[in-house]
Structure 1
Amino acid sequence: MIRCSALVPLRGPRLAAVCVYLCATLSLSLGGEARADAGLTETRVRELLLKGLPANSHHPKIELHNAEDRCTDPRPYLQHPEQRGFGKVMVGVRCAGQSVPAYYVQAQVAVMGSYVVSPRRIAPGQAIDADMLMMRSGPLDKLPANAALNPKDLIGLRATRAFSPSSPLLSTAFRKAWLVEQNHQVTVQVQGLGFMLSRAGKALDNGYLGDEVRVASGRGKVLQAKVTGPDRLLVRD
């Protein structure tokens, strides 16, 4: 155990606060490292978890349960590769030469890092640009699932729900912006052998770039068209 008195004498609230911070920082740093008496399973599981942490995260603290050695050559892997690598994580362990897991290790991973927030309220349907986003630092393991860690993942998308100022933004609550929206007027280009015509139409479906959607022409005929840009469709005759 690290004692604050060994780091700095407690003379006043400001020094006490510094001491507490230093103690917490040292404890978190040590928590990410394997103990000198750790077995091979524990060492390899810790290495796997540390490699999976987000870029620019720091001060990891890893607690393991059921990490005792049960074979001479343990091969750990993430039980759910798509899940985030912090918070509660389940690690499977295969013994060398076996295709099925021999046992499981439960991990609790605490780590500090940065996540995406907005300084102002975001409304449902609002398009996101870089000026609406900022980074905030804190414990990543305390965030909601799917909290966005990179602003580039959200720029150009539309919110599907409201977010209050400074709240963590969830990557699952944003979608690509439609280039063509249902019941909106669009420009339809009809391409044939040696000619290109443009006419007005009405989109009958929502569509992203490259999607095939239905469009009603001015004569009431329904055609299949490809989304080529904002409110622009292409029909090949």
Structure 2
Amino acid sequence: MKHPDPGNTVSKNQLTEISIIYEMKPKVGQFFDDRIIRQQSTHGTPCRICVHTARPTLAKNRQLTAGKPMAQPVNKAHTTTNRLGLRGNACLIGGLLLLMSPVVAGNQPTEILRQTAMSFLQAQTAKRADQEVEISIGRIDRRLKLVTCEKTPAAFLAAGAKLQGKLTVGLRCAGPKPWTVYVPAQIKIFAEVVAATQPLLRGRKISTTDIMFVRQELSQLRNGYFIKKDAVIGKVLTQNLAAGNAITPKQVKAPVLVRRGEKVAIVAAIGTLKVRGKGKALEDAALGELISVRNSQSKRIIQGVVTRPGVVNVQM
């Protein structure tokens, strides 16, 4: 096949204009066969990619116009067939490249990773019979390409992680090409907690009519909560409380059983022997709290634990 002479030009009605973009500067007299070039049609048809043989110019990135038409007549049917064949070959090559790519051949499906993380968290929270657990697994970037694990990836949590609120689940594959990925998750635990039935003022001693159960998401109760009414009945509020609000340990305290200046009975235990005396409380104290007491007889200050109203036990 003859190459067109760059020194001549051809009218647009005779030949379609060919534009060749070179990626590198060719040498003088060098020919490039089977190069991929862009063909721009002058008859309004869309541009397409085809294979053509042409003589390069000396300058880089220069447009080249084909010369005179070949002496032999062009068989249009044969040309069309060749172009269709080239397109078919291009499609075939593209398909083979796609099949050989790692994206198609053995990537770990992200949905399997999410299911593995879900099963792991369900097993970790299965023992909470008195609570309702809701688990949600976050999205995994589908562009993440991981080699398919031969076995189910091992799930784990970071040291000290709590099984509530937002967290991440680690998935580790120990295959020939090991990998580790972290999956975002959230655990919501709902339970019936003790709350106020009405507005309650600071210093109020809580009774059974002051409290009720309400369903709460536990991760939102960062200051703690009570799940039994007996744990708060008889205690005193340390701050005002709105109706419907859950009661936290910091909002209540045990009632004062011994007040400062009151006379108290001092009970000292020495083995099986108990010695009783009298004293004066130097501070307020609730049940189980440590209190300072002045012995009425010796005038010594000793410390003991309040066991009931007006009684302080001292260990000898």
Fold shared per TM-score above 0.5: yes
Aligned partners of 2:261 and 2:280 also within 8 Å: no
Distance in 2, matches of 1:120 and 1:214, equals 37
Distance in 2, matches of 1:79 and 1:126, equals 42
Aligned alpha-carbon RMSD (Å): 4.1
The aligned counterpart of 2:50 is: none
The aligned counterpart of 2:119 is: 44
Residue number among 61, 75, 100 corresponding to 2:155 in the alignment: 75
Distance in 1, matches of 2:153 and 2:280, equals 65
Alignment of 1:110-149 (within 5 A): 110=188, 113-137=191-215, 140=217, 143-146=220-223, 148=225
- The two structures have a TM-score, normalised by structure 1, of 0.58
Alignment of 1:116-195 (within 5 A): 116-137=194-215, 140=217, 143-146=220-223, 148=225, 150-152=227-229, 153-191=231-269
Q: Which segment is superposed worse, 44-53 or 219-228?
A: 44-53
Query: Quick one: structure 1 residues 41 and 163, their matched pair in 2 at CA, closer, same or farther if it must change by over 3 Å?
Result: same
Please tell me whether Structure 1 or Structure 2 has the larger radius of gyration of its CA atoms.
Answer: 2
- Percent identity, aligned pairs only? 14
Cα deviation, 1:36-64, whole Å, max 9, x if unaligned, reads x4326423343146437672426x25233
The aligned counterpart of 1:199 is: 278
Q: Gapped runs of 5+ residues in structure 2?
A: 1-110, 175-179
C-alpha deviation, 1:229, in angstroms: 2.1
Aligned partners of 1:75 and 1:96 also within 8 Å: no
Secondary structure of the residue aligned to 2:243 is coil
Aligned partners of 1:187 and 1:199 also within 8 Å: yes
Aligned partners of 2:117 and 2:155 also within 8 Å: no
Distance in 2, matches of 1:103 and 1:171, equals 39
Aligned partners of 1:130 and 1:151 also within 8 Å: no
Aligned partners of 1:133 and 1:151 also within 8 Å: no
Residue number among 136, 160, 163 corresponding to 1:62 in the alignment: 136
Distance in 1, matches of 2:290 and 2:218, equals 41
Query: Quick one: structure 1 residues 52 and 234, their matched pair in 2 at CA, closer, same or farther if it must change by over 3 Å?
Result: same
Query: Taking CA–CA contacts closer than 8 Å with sequence separation of 6 or more, which of the two structures ends up with the larger relative contact order?
Result: 1
Query: Quick one: structure 1 residues 165 and 74, their matched pair in 2 at CA, closer, same or farther if it must change by over 3 Å?
Result: same
Distance in 1, matches of 2:305 and 2:191, equals 42
Secondary structure of the residue aligned to 1:115 is strand
Query: Quick one: structure 1 residues 194 and 154, their matched pair in 2 at CA, closer, same or farther if it must change by over 3 Å?
Result: closer
Secondary structure of the residue aligned to 2:136 is strand
Distance in 1, matches of 2:246 and 2:189, equals 16
Secondary structure of the residue aligned to 1:51 is coil
Aligned partners of 1:156 and 1:176 also within 8 Å: yes
Aligned partners of 2:193 and 2:214 also within 8 Å: yes
Secondary structure of the residue aligned to 1:187 is strand
Residue number among 143, 167, 186 corresponding to 1:90 in the alignment: 167
Cα deviation, 1:1-31, whole Å, max 9, x if unaligned, reads xxxxxxxxxxxxxxxxxxxxxxxxxxxxxxx
Do structure 1's residue 232 and structure 2's residue 311 form an aligned pair?
yes
Query: Quick one: structure 1 residues 159 and 225, their matched pair in 2 at CA, closer, same or farther if it must change by over 3 Å?
Result: same
The aligned counterpart of 1:106 is: 184
User: What is the number of equivalent residue pairs in this alignment?
Assistant: 192
Distance in 2, matches of 1:155 and 1:115, equals 14
